[in-house]
Amino acid sequence: MLPGVGVFGTGSTARVLVPLLKAEGFEVHALWGRSEEEACCLAKELGIPFHTSRSDDVLLHQDVDLVCIYIPPSMTRQIAVKALGIGKNVVCEKAATAVDSFKMVTAARYYPQLLSIMGNTLRFLPAFVAMRQLLVEGYVGELQVCDVRVYGPSLLDQSYGWTCEELMGGGGLHTVGSAIIDLLSYLTGTRAHRVHGLLRTFVQQNGLIRGIRRVTSDDFCFFQMLMGGTGSSGVCCTVTLNFNMPGSFVHEVMVVGSTGRLIARGTELYGQRNGSKSEELLVGDSGWVGPEVKEMPLPLLQGLSSMVKALRQSFQAQEERRCWARGPVATAPTFEDGLYVQTVVEAVKRSSSSGEWECVEIMSHEPDPNQNLCEALQRNKN
């Protein structure tokens, strides 16, 4: 029995997600938008019976058992935690800060019977599923290096909003880099312990964003990660993100080992063993038959489609609408993975400011909101 779905968001992801959910047999009962006009317009376009700009109206909707959250990062934590608290399953995008991510982890641990996964669709893309399996089987031998390049057009919205603000979760590192950080952890089975990075904002104003407003989110980012073991036994990863290339999109992930390499270009996977004269195509492009969304690259589109299929498999054999099976979504990133990714993102930002390598230390308890005040009082007392 498939659960009824409530969708938060009216952006490009929501526009393609709703048709995909319906195609797999899910009923989308409610849509939330930042304004009544936004919600009404998209609800009519997609045939959703209920729309609102009040979050509680979706969360408390009697037919909604699964909540999909694709809204600005600064709002994600509040909706996700409340949804779990009232017994809804949750699929959501990244939060804005590590503290927000930690609060989401706490809620997920408190309600372990509920589904709580991050919406990084790259883990479900067939090319990366196959890449992980081949790495486990030893196709490249001992893994040594990962190299990722993502180039594309600007990530900014048409008007000034959260995508322009680094503190609100905008920028290439947070928007795209977080998915890459998670993907590399999934592929290698390891986590970063030290990082070094450089962020730049080359386009601070444009024809639509000018005057006293300036863009603070990064449009170029380069960072390195040391993953797994320390010293020479770890995996060296380099990631380059450049969103100053209108009209083109490059998404390439290469892993190199002692006996060969694997390269995912877009939605295709190639491999080449040492001594071989040419690459071999391991996973071809199966083609995209859904709606075309210019704002969403093909790897994300196909990954999203595969994730929705996995969700259907997870719920369909259950007698209760809110019950789910872990198997089909076992590879999905958890809220704990989301906390790790956000920790790495913030470490890269610190490194860009300090110019030094930074350690990745995952939060184990929520910081005291009055910590700075308490430290000041303690210094005065001494």
Q: How do beta strands 192-200 and 4-8 pair?
A: unpaired
Gap between the Cα atoms of 53 and 226, Å rounded: 43
Confidence category of residue 381, pLDDT binned at 50, 70, 90: low
User: Can you tell me the mean pLDDT for 122-131?
Assistant: 96
Residue 374: per-residue pLDDT = 53
259 dihedral zone (left: phi>0; alpha: psi -120 to 50; beta): alpha
Question: Residue 159: pLDDT band by 50, 70, 90 thresholds?
Answer: confident
Strand order in the sheet with 268-273: 280-283, 268-273, 260-265, 250-257, 143-151, 235-242, 220-227, 192-200, 358-359
Q: What pLDDT does 242 receive?
A: 96
Which pLDDT belongs to residue 289?
67
Question: Which band of pLDDT confidence, cut at 50, 70 and 90, is reported for residue 167?
Answer: confident
What's the mean pLDDT in 331-350?
97
Q: Kindly state the helix (H) or strand (E) to which residue 149 belongs, with its residue range.
A: strand 143-151
Confidence of residue 307 (pLDDT cuts 50, 70, 90): very high
> What is the amino acid identity at position 153?
P
Instruction: Tokens for 146, please give them.
Output: 């990962």
Pick the more confident residue, 56 or 208: 56
Question: At 162, is the pLDDT very low, low, confident or very high (cuts 50, 70, 90)?
Answer: confident
Over the stretch 177-225, which tens digit does the pLDDT of each residue have? 999 999 999 999 999 999 999 999 988 777 677 777 788 889 999 999 9
Mean pLDDT across 149-154: 94
Averaged pLDDT for residues 298-311: 94
10 Å Cβ neighbour count for 236? 16
Give the DSSP H/E element, type plus range, for residue 307: helix 298-316
